[in-house]
C-alpha cells in the first residue's frame, strides 16, 4: 500500500478468508485491507480465485471461514450475547447497497431502458421518488457519456455502452465502494477504452475501488495496490510499479509474460 493510502483508515478489511467449492479450496486464507479512497487491483490467472474473492467481499458468496470487516463492523455476522450468528440474505441487502458491483457480463435488465435500469434499485430498495432519482440518473448518464442513450434498451447498445450503464446503475445507489469483476473482458479492444476512462475518472474522484482486471496498463496507472493471486493465496502484493515491474515469484513472472504477449 502506498504511504498516502496507508494513512487513511481502512474501509474494508479481509482477514483469513477461506472458501471451498465442490471440495476444492478456492480461497486458502486471504488477508488484505483497503483504505478509503484507494484502488486495489486483483490480478492472476483464471481459476486463481479472483472472482470468488470479489464475490465474498459483498457476500454474493459467503466465505467458509475468516472475516470481512466493513467500516469496523463484521459483515454477514451479528453478535448475539457471546455468540456470533450468521445474517440472513435479507439482512445483507443493506450492506450490499453500500458496495456497488459491476460484472463481466453487464447483467443489465434486458426489458428496461438505460434510464429504467438505473432508477430501478433506488426506487424499489431506497424508496426514492421517481422524479427525484430520474434527475440523478440523467446526471449519471452524462457522467458515463451516454446522455444520448437514455431510452435505449440493452440489446440496442454496444458492450461498452452497456457496461457504462451498468456502472451508472451501481453508482445510483451512492455506494461507498465499488467492485469491478473483469468488466472489460467481454469487450472488443476498441470498446475497452471508454469503460476504463470512466473507471479512471471514478478513481480520481476518490471512489474506493476493488477490481479484478487483466488490463495491466490500467492497473499500473490507476491502482494503489496490486494483489497477485495464485492457487487461492495472495502470492505477491504491493505497489504496481514495483510488483509489475520487478515480480519476485516465478509465477508472477510467467503470468505477466502471458498477459503482455
Partner 1 sequence: MDWTVVTSNAPLFVSATLNTVAIAAATIVLSVVIAFPLAIMRDSRFGFLRWVSAGYSWTTRAMPTLSLLFLAYYGLPQFGIYLDPVVAAITGLTVIAAGYNMEYIRVGLQAVPAGQYEACRALGIPLSIALRRLIVPQAMRTILPPLTSNLTLLLKGSALASLVAVTELSGQAMALISYTYKPIEILIAVALIYLCLNGVLVGVQRLVEQRYRLQD
Helices H / strands E in the chain, number of each = 10, 12
Regarding 105 and contact with partner 1 (CB under 8 A), the answer is: yes
Taking CB under 8 A as the criterion, which residues in 107-136 touch partner 1? Answer: 107-111, 120-121, 124-125
Binding residue for partner 1 (CB under 8 A) from 10, 44, 49, 100?
A: 100
Cα angle 254, 259, 261; round to 5: 95
Residues present in the chain in total:
261
CB 249 within 8 A of CB 235: yes
Nearer of residues 1 and 99 to partner 1, judged by Cβ: 99
Angle at CA of residue 92, ends 86 and 93, nearest 5°: 160
Output 59 or 146, the one with its CB closest to partner 1. Answer: 59
178 binds partner 1 (CB under 8 A): no
Number of residues near partner 1 (by CB under 8 A): 28
Three-class SS of residue 87?
Answer: coil
Cell output for 17: 478468508
Beta bridge partners of 74: 69
Of 136-175, binders to partner 1 (CB under 8 A) are 153, 155-156, 169-170, 173
Stretch that binds partner 1, among 30-38, 73-81, 98-106, 132-140 (CB under 8 A): 98-106
User: Which contacts (CB < 8 Å, 24+ apart) does range 89-95 have?
Assistant: 92/59, 93/125, 95/58, 95/59, 95/70
Q: By CB under 8 A, name the one of 24, 78, 85, 93 that touches partner 1.
A: 93
What residues line the site for partner 1 (CB under 8 A)? 58, 60, 89-90, 93-94, 96-97, 100-101, 103, 105-111, 120-121, 124-125, 153, 155-156, 169-170, 173
Amino acid at each position: 500500500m502506498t504511504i498516502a493510502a496507508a494513512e487513511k483508515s481502512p474501509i474494508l478489511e479481509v482477514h483469513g478468508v477461506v472458501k471451498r467449492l465442490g471440495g476444492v479450496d478456492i480461497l486458502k486464507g486471504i488477508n488484505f485491507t483497503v483504505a478509503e479512497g484507494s484502488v486495489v487491483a486483483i490480478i492472476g490467472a483464471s481459476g486463481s480465485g479472483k472472482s470468488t474473492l470479489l464475490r465474498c467481499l459483498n457476500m454474493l458468496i459467503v466465505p467458509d471461514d475468516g472475516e470481512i470487516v466493513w467500516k469496523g463492523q463484521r459483515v454477514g455476522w451479528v453478535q448475539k450475547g457471546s455468540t456470533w450468528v450468521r445474517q440472513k440474505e435479507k439482512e445483507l441487502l443493506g450492506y450490499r447497497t453500500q458496495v456497488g458491483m459491476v460484472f463481466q457480463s453487464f447483467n443489465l435488465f434486458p426489458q428496461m431502458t438505460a434510464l429504467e435500469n438505473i432508477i430501478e434499485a433506488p426506487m424499489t430498495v431506497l424508496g426514492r421518488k421517481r422524479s427525484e432519482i430520474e434527475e440523478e440518473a440523467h446526471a449519471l448518464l452524462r457522467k458515463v457519456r451516454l446522455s444520448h442513450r437514455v431510452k435505449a434498451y440493452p440489446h440496442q447498445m454496444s458492450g461498452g455502452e452497456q457496461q457504462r450503464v451498468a456502472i451508472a446503475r451501481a453508482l445510483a445507489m451512492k455506494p461507498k465502494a465499488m467492485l469491478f469483476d473483469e468488466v472489460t473482458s467481454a469487450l472488443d479492444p476498441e470498446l475497452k477504452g471508454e469503460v476504463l476512462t470512466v473507471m479512471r475518472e471514478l478513481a480520481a474522484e476518490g471512489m474506493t475501488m476493488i477490481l479484478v482486471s487483466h488490463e495491466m496498463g490500467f492497473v499500473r496507472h490507476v491502482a494503489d495496490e496490486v494483489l497477485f493471486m495464485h492457487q487461492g493465496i495472495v502470492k505477491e502484493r504491493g505497489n504496481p510499479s514495483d510488483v509489475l515491474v520487478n515480480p519476485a515469484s516465478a509465477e508472477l513472472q510467467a503470468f505477466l509474460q502471458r498477459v503482455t504477449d
